[in-house]
């Protein structure tokens, strides 16, 4: 029993500290929408993370695909949230894993349909006189170019 | 290197060393940016080397070949003995020189490899030294007269190495070798910097590392341990803490007439107080360094006393005692590292330098139990096509490290509650301990198992975790916990009360006070450094010793003085206020006529009434409280003391009914000396002349006499009157009026009593007595004065008077 239990240190009980999460598998959601799953190996005071054996998981509907990425170092400010993955519960999920190519294709389709919807919405609004700024075509100074 | 100074535009004149000093600062910034723990090394190099090693291993060179290579790589034939390589040299082993793809093919190294064994390093060193003294001299600062003896040989191949990494300059260096040393100027600026940096890099980092170490052990004041041990309790300590250690003169004085700037810069000797802000001894952003060779440290300390900073005592630092002994001799370390494990199947070239991974493995093995200890190049859990860790991470230049708690730690059965957590509420702590335990209990079996299979665990050492925790705890420090974390405090207070209620005070161990890291509010007053016996202030001001541009002196008056001043001001304000009020009335009175014309008939009566009341009011404000026919002296004085007041009176008099006007004039005459004194600045009494003249002309003889008497009223008054222009004028006015009265109306009552005569006599007497210098000239001299005097004085005196007063006979 002695040898199997690792020495436990009570780091900052009651606070949100990542120290206890080290060497555990985590799911990290980034600000750009990516989902990374990996073993949290190291942290620092800014909550920069070192993830090992990272896998980027793309979800489309009920299906997902994993892209192995290796070692990630994530700057703390880009993390939206992260949570520990229970290794036992990890396997019982209703989501279906597919291969990468498929999921990428699905994602592409999803993006496309979204964009089209966005465009039609934008057009409809424009016809009604409301011009919503589209972040992708907006300049620094908020100038919109109507192409 | 003054050539390079031109490139360096921000080199100030102060920096005599020129480029060199700049290097130092850059170096330090490098440290701050990347941390003490940051490897300054070129990881690509390391990676290449390790990759090659791996390849060779895979190619079936076998351990022996590796060993040979490694031995050759180590140089100096030290392969037999396991020794700690000089920590500062992130040794790119010369074994990386041999590979033929290095463009320095013209270099001897391939030949060197054949030699192998003992004198590899020496021969290499000699070769390079002979060939390129410029580079060698750069390596010099790490060399002679210096801290670590182990440095020179490795540093030279090291530095030699770097030119090889910059291909464009290859032809220069390689071609330069046979004929002679390439001129340093041929090296690019960058290259040169690179070289210098290499040489200088170890030092500051070692310095700061020591400080870091010390900080953990010794608390607030970071003094190099060497010095500390020497002067434990001496009074010097306090001085040192106060002022800081003196700058050690740069140990590298120019030898052999070499250009100083070619050498690596001397260690950064920044006074803590003077000069630019000191590099924080422990930049908080730097992760803990692995402990280096103790010998190194010690030498380091002695030769380079580093800046001493007086820091606010931070209590929590004491609460983080390292869980392992910091100072372990290299041998002990290695014993720890090597003995529990059978010799790991790593190439001997890596030798006793444990990488992070290896350390982690060690820990894992300790945790998991020895049987599992040596699993060769670990298999990754979950498969994956990753390369074995082996080639990837560059080895730290740190020495071997127990990697966590010493081995005996395993025998601690229960979870260790560190003291630092008592900062939080004990109840809280208890709760979480229980939680941890329960969690641990469930998963204990499985966790251990899983951990043992995870070869990458414990990459973050205990120390590093503590370091992060420490930073986070520091953020919790507060001087006022109720202000900073109100809800936390309150929540736990409530909880405690609730528990006490529930358990009826069974558990006595509750502490009623909440313990959070509290830092005493310290007064951080900056006192600029002053040198005893120096004249004036420091000429160089910096962030740490700002120089006052303006010497502002605070004149703090005592309370009494302030009160008095206030009183004076208040009084003045009061007077002005009164004057203002009177003025408003006066203006109304003055405007009366105009208004009178404008208003219709019916309302004229009312207006007239109003007018009367106004005038009465005005007079009332001037006069004495009880007596109607006398003007209050104080009031009069007060008002007249202000210029505005004088003006007011002068305007007022014409509007007053004659009697009242007369009294006012009387009052003026009575107080003339005082008024005159007050008027010295303003000199506006003369405004009063005109209205008074009018009044005088309307005076009766009796009142005139009275007036004259008033004028002469008190002792010495007349003389003072005569000194004042206005007074003289007034006097003349009175006299001339009297004369006019007498001359015009023989039956006037002026002569009825002797007062007038007497008064005039006294006047004449005074006039004669008064020296002409003090007699001020009047505004005008009434013409009939002479005739007046001629009535009373004899001829002789008359003449004198005439002369004095410059009354011409013509003015008769």
State which residue of chain A sits closest to B357, comparing Cα positions: A41
Tokens 């790490």 sit on residue: B142
Angle between helices B486-503 and B426-453 in degrees, nearest 10: 100
Q: Kindly report each contact of residues B239-242 with a partner whose C-beta sits within 8 Å and lies 24 or more positions away, as own/partner.
A: B240/B308, B241/B308, B241/B310, B242/B310
Within 13 Å of residue A2, how many CA atoms lie on the same side as its CB?
A: 9
Give the whole-angstrom CA distance, residue A127 versus residue A121: 10
What per-residue confidence (pLDDT) applies to B142?
Answer: 42
Band of the pLDDT at B60, cuts 50, 70, 90?
low
DSSP string, B248-275: PPPS----TT--GGGSPPPP----SSSS
Give me the mean pLDDT over the A14-30 stretch.
87
Q: Which residues pair with A43 in a beta bridge?
A: A49
Band of the pLDDT at A58, cuts 50, 70, 90?
very high
Test B367 with A3 for CB contact under 8 angstroms. Answer: yes
Looking at per-residue pLDDT, the higher value among B263 and A80 belongs to A80
Give the distance from CA B339 to its chain's centroid.
54
B387 inside 8 A of chain A by CB? no
A113 inside 8 A of chain B by CB? no
What per-residue confidence (pLDDT) applies to B641?
Answer: 76
Test A10 with B386 for CB contact under 8 angstroms. Answer: no
Looking at per-residue pLDDT, the higher value among B257 and B36 belongs to B36
Closest CA to B81 of B91, B71, B95: B71
Is B809:B802 a contact under the CB 8 Å cutoff? yes
Give the whole-angstrom CA distance, residue B169 versus residue B132: 14
- Sign of torsion over alpha carbons B678, B679, B682, B685: positive
Give the distance from CA B65 to its chain's centroid.
62
Q: Which of B7-11, B56-60, B308-312, B564-568 has the lowest mean pLDDT?
A: B308-312
Give the whole-angstrom CA distance, residue B629 versus residue B640: 19
A15 inside 8 A of chain B by CB? yes
Of residues A3, A17, A41, nearest to B459 (C-beta):
A41
What per-residue confidence (pLDDT) applies to B528?
Answer: 57
Q: Which of A109-118, B281-290, B395-404 has the lowest mean pLDDT?
A: B395-404
Mean pLDDT, chain B, as a whole number?
A: 61
- Distances from the Cα of B107 to the Cα of B129, B182, B312, angstroms: 13, 15, 56
Q: What is the pTM of this model?
A: 0.34
Q: Is B745 exposed, middle or buried (0-12, 13-18, 19+ CB in 10 A)?
A: exposed
Looking at per-residue pLDDT, the higher value among B737 and B160 belongs to B737
Does the predicted interface ipTM exceed a cut of 0.90? no
Q: How many CB atoms lie within 10 A of CB B298?
A: 17
Give the whole-angstrom CA distance, residue B477 versus residue B484: 9
Residues of chain B contacting A53 with CB distance shorter than 8 Å: 380, 382, 384, 386
Give the single-character DSSP code of B11. -
Token pair in block for residue B498: 């609730």
Report CA dihedral (B545, B549, B550, B553) to the nearest 10 degrees: 10
**Is the confidence at residue B553, as pLDDT, over 70?**
yes
Angle between helices B202-218 and B189-200 in degrees, nearest 10: 40
Q: Is B586 exposed, middle or buried (0-12, 13-18, 19+ CB in 10 A)?
A: buried
Test A10 with B433 for CB contact under 8 angstroms. Answer: yes
Residues of chain A contacting B417 with CB distance shorter than 8 Å: 10
A5 inside 8 A of chain B by CB? yes
**Is the confidence at residue B509, as pLDDT, over 60?**
no
Secondary element (H or E) of residue B34: helix B19-34
**Is the confidence at residue A32, as pLDDT, over 50?**
yes
Helices (H) and strands (E) in chain A, counts: 1, 6
Looking at per-residue pLDDT, the higher value among B573 and B323 belongs to B573
Give the whole-angstrom CA distance, residue B669 versus residue B650: 14
CB neighbour list of residue A65: distance below 8 Å, 6 or more residues apart? A57, A58, A97, A98, A99, A100, A102, A103, A104
Give me the mean pLDDT over the B657-664 stretch.
79
Give me the mean pLDDT over the B72-90 stretch.
43
Give me the mean pLDDT over the A37-57 stretch.
94
Residues of chain A contacting B451 with CB distance shorter than 8 Å: 6, 23
Give me the mean pLDDT over the A10-20 stretch.
72
Band of the pLDDT at B304, cuts 50, 70, 90?
very low
**Is the confidence at residue B518, as pLDDT, over 70?**
no
Token pair in block for residue B645: 């007041």
Q: Which of B39-43, B69-73, B631-635, B739-743 has the lowest mean pLDDT?
A: B69-73
Q: How many CB atoms lie within 10 A of CB B147?
A: 22
Tokens 């003015």 sit on residue: B811
CB neighbour list of residue B626: distance below 8 Å, 6 or more residues apart? none
What per-residue confidence (pLDDT) applies to B139?
Answer: 43
**Is the confidence at residue A38, as pLDDT, over 80?**
yes
Looking at per-residue pLDDT, the higher value among B52 and B303 belongs to B52
What per-residue confidence (pLDDT) applies to A64?
Answer: 93
Is B628:B637 a contact under the CB 8 Å cutoff? no
Closest CA to B446 of B368, B554, B512: B368
Looking at per-residue pLDDT, the higher value among B447 and A88 belongs to A88
State which residue of chain B sits closest to A88, comparing Cα positions: B446
DSSP string, A87-102: TTTTT--S-EEE-HHH
Convert the pLDDT of each residue in B472-490 to its tens digit. Answer: 888 777 777 788 888 888 8
Band of the pLDDT at A53, cuts 50, 70, 90?
very high
Convert the pLDDT of each residue in A105-117 to its tens digit. Answer: 999 999 999 999 9
Tokens 């313990």 sit on residue: B515
Give the whole-angstrom CA distance, residue B5 versus residue B17: 10
Band of the pLDDT at A10, cuts 50, 70, 90?
low
Shortest distance between the Cα of B412 and any Cα of chain A, in A, equals 8
Q: Which residues pair with A25 in a beta bridge?
A: A39
Give the single-character DSSP code of B539. S
Looking at per-residue pLDDT, the higher value among B178 and B55 belongs to B55
Of residues B409, B412, B421, nearest to A10 (C-beta):
B421
Give the whole-angstrom CA distance, residue B451 versus residue A3: 11
Angle between helices B795-805 and B754-769 in degrees, nearest 10: 60
**Length of chain B in residues, anyone?**
812
Secondary element (H or E) of residue A40: strand A35-43
Give the whole-angstrom CA distance, residue B487 versus residue B318: 28
Closest CA to B141 of B34, B40, B255: B255
Convert the pLDDT of each residue in B692-732 to its tens digit. Answer: 888 777 777 777 777 777 777 766 777 777 777 777 777 77
Band of the pLDDT at B306, cuts 50, 70, 90?
very low
- Distances from the Cα of B9 to the Cα of B5, B268, B270, angstroms: 7, 21, 22
What per-residue confidence (pLDDT) applies to B362?
Answer: 74
What per-residue confidence (pLDDT) applies to B238?
Answer: 53
Convert the pLDDT of each residue in B134-185 to its tens digit. Answer: 554 444 444 444 444 444 444 444 444 444 444 444 444 444 444 444 444 4
Band of the pLDDT at B765, cuts 50, 70, 90?
confident
**Is the confidence at residue B462, as pLDDT, over 80?**
yes
Secondary element (H or E) of residue A63: strand A63-74
Tokens 């007079």 sit on residue: B619
Is B206:B292 a contact under the CB 8 Å cutoff? yes
What per-residue confidence (pLDDT) applies to B796?
Answer: 79
Segment 55-94 of chain B within 8 Å of chain A by CB: none
Looking at per-residue pLDDT, the higher value among B536 and B732 belongs to B732
What percentage of chain A reaches a pLDDT higher than 90?
Answer: 65
What percentage of chain B reaches a pLDDT higher than 70?
Answer: 37
B405 inside 8 A of chain A by CB? yes
Domain boundaries A15-129, corresponding CATH code: 2.30.30.100
Test B384 with A68 for CB contact under 8 angstroms. Answer: yes
What per-residue confidence (pLDDT) applies to A42?
Answer: 93
Of residues A1, A6, A9, nearest to B418 (C-beta):
A9
Most trustworthy range by pLDDT among A129-138, B47-56, B150-159, B717-726: B47-56
Give the whole-angstrom CA distance, residue B218 versus residue B234: 16
Is B459:B361 a contact under the CB 8 Å cutoff? no
Convert the pLDDT of each residue in B205-247 to its tens digit. Answer: 444 444 444 444 444 444 444 444 444 445 545 555 555 555 5
Segment 470-529 of chain B within 8 Å of chain A by CB: 471-473, 476
Looking at per-residue pLDDT, the higher value among B310 and B579 belongs to B579
Can you say whether residue A70 is alpha, beta or left, with left for phi > 0 and alpha for psi between -120 and 50 degrees? left
Convert the pLDDT of each residue in B121-148 to its tens digit. Answer: 666 666 666 555 555 444 444 444 444 4
Within 13 Å of residue B766, how many CA atoms lie on the same side as its CB?
A: 21
Annotated domain spans of chain A = 15-129
In the three-class reduction of DSSP (H, G, I as helix; E, B as strand; rest coil), residue B105 is classed as helix
What per-residue confidence (pLDDT) applies to B264?
Answer: 55
Give me the mean pLDDT over the B638-659 stretch.
79
Test B447 with A4 for CB contact under 8 angstroms. Answer: yes
Test A22 with B465 for CB contact under 8 angstroms. Answer: yes
Give the single-character DSSP code of A47. -
Helices (H) and strands (E) in chain B, counts: 34, 0
Token pair in block for residue B495: 């909880």
Give the whole-angstrom CA distance, residue B319 versus residue B327: 19
Give the whole-angstrom CA distance, residue B809 versus residue B803: 10
């Amino acid at each position: 029993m002695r040898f199997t239990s690792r020495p436990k240190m009570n780091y900052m009980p009651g606070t949100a500290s990542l120290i206890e999460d080290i060497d555990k598998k985590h799911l990290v959601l980034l600000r750009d929408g990516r989902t990374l799953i990996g073993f949290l190996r190291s942290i620092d005071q800014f909550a920069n993370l070192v993830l090992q054996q990272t896998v980027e998981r793309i979800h489309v509907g009920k299906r997902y695909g994993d892209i192995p990425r290796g070692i990630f170092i994530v700057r703390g400010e880009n993390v939206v949230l992260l949570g520990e993955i229970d290794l036992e519960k990890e396997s019982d999920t209703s989501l279906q894993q597919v291969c990468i190519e498929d999921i990428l294709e699905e994602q592409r389709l999803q993006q496309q349909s979204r964009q089209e919807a966005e465009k039609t919405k934008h057009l409809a609004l424009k016809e009604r006189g409301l011009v919503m700024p589209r972040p992708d075509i907006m300049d620094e100074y908020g100038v919109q170019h109507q192409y | 290197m003054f050539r390079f100074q031109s490139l360096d535009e921000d080199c100030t004149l102060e920096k005599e060393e020129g480029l060199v000093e700049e290097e130092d600062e850059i170096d330090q910034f490098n440290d701050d940016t990347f941390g003490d723990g940051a490897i300054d090394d070129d990881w690509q190099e390391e990676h290449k080397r390790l990759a090659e090693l791996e390849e060779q291993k895979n190619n079936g060179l076998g351990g022996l070949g590796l060993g040979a290579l490694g031995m050759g790589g180590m140089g100096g034939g030290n392969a037999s003995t396991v020794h700690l390589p000089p920590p500062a040299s992130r040794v790119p082993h010369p074994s990386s020189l041999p590979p033929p793809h290095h463009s320095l093919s013209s270099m001897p190294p391939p030949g060197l490899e054949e030699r192998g064994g003992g004198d590899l390093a020496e021969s290499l060193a000699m070769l390079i030294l002979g060939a390129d003294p410029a580079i060698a001299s750069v390596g010099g600062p790490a060399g002679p007269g210096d801290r670590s003896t182990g440095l020179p040989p490795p540093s030279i191949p090291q530095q030699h190495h770097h030119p090889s990494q910059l291909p464009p300059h290859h032809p220069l260096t390689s071609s330069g070798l046979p004929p002679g040393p390439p001129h340093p100027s041929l090296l690019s600026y960058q290259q040169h910097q690179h070289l210098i940096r290499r040489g200088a890099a170890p030092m500051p980092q070692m310095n700061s590392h020591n400080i870091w170490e010390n900080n953990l052990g010794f608390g607030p004041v970071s003094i190099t341990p060497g010095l500390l041990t020497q002067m434990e309790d001496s009074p010097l300590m306090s001085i040192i803490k106060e002022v800081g250690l003196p700058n050690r003169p740069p140990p590298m004085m120019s030898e052999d007439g070499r250009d100083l700037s070619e050498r690596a810069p001397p260690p950064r000797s920044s006074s803590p107080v003077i000069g630019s802000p000191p590099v924080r001894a422990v930049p908080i952003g730097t992760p803990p360094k692995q402990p280096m060779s103790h010998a190194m440290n010690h030498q380091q300390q002695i030769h380079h006393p580093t800046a001493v900073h007086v820091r606010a005592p931070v209590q929590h630092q004491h609460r983080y005692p390292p869980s392992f002994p910091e100072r372990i001799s290299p041998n002990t370390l290695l014993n720890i590292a090597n003995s529990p494990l059978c010799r790991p199947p790593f190439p001997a070239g890596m030798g006793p330098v444990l990488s992070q991974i290896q350390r982690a493995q060690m820990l894992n093995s300790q945790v998991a139990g020895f049987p599992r200890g040596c699993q060769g190049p670990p298999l990754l859990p979950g498969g994956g096509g990753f390369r074995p860790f082996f080639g990837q991470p560059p080895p730290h230049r740190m020495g071997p490290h127990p990697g966590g708690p010493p081995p005996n730690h395993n025998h601690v059965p229960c979870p260790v509650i560190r003291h630092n957590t008592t900062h939080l509420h004990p109840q809280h702590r208890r709760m979480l301990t229980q939680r941890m335990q329960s969690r641990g209990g469930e998963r204990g079996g499985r966790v251990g198992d899983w951990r043992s299979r995870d070869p990458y665990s414990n990459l973050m050492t205990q120390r590093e975790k503590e370091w992060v925790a420490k930073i986070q705890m520091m953020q919790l420090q507060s001087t006022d916990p109720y202000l900073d974390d109100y809800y936390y405090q309150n929540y736990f207070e409530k909880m405690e009360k609730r528990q006490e209620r529930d358990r009826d005070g069974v558990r006595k161990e509750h502490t009623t006070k909440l313990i959070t890291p509290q830092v005493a509010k310290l007064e951080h007053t900056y006192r600029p450094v002053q040198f005893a016996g120096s004249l004036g202030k420091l000429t160089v001001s910096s962030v740490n010793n700002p120089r006052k541009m303006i010497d502002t002196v605070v004149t703090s008056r005592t309370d009494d003085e302030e009160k008095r001043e206030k009183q004076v001001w208040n009084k003045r304000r009061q007077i002005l206020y009164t004057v203002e009020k009177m003025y408003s009335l006066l203006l109304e009175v003055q405007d009366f006529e105009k208004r009178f014309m404008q208003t219709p008939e019916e309302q004229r009566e009312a207006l007239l009434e109003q007018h009367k009341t106004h005038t009465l009011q005005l007079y009332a404000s001037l006069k004495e409280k009880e007596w109607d026919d006398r003007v209050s002296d104080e009031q009069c004085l007060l008002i007249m003391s202000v210029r505005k007041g004088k003006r007011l009176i002068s305007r007022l008099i014409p509007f007053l009914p004659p009697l009242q006007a007369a009294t006012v004039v009387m009052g003026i005459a009575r107080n003339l000396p005082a008024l005159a004194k007050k008027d010295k600045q303003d000199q506006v009494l003369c405004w009063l002349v005109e209205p008074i003249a009018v009044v005088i002309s309307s005076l009766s003889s009796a009142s005139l006499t009275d007036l004259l008497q008033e004028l002469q009223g008190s002792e010495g008054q007349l003389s003072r009157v005569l000194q004042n222009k206005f007074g003289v004028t007034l006097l003349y006015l009175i006299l001339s009026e009297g004369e006019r009265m007498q001359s015009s109306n023989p039956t006037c009552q002026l002569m009825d009593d002797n007062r007038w005569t007497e008064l005039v006599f006294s006047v004449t007497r005074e006039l004669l007595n008064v020296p002409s210098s003090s007699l001020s000239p009047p505004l005008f001299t009434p013409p009939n004065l002479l005739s007046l005097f001629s009535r009373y004085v004899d001829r002789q005196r008359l003449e004198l008077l005439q002369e004095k007063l410059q009354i011409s006979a013509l003015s008769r």
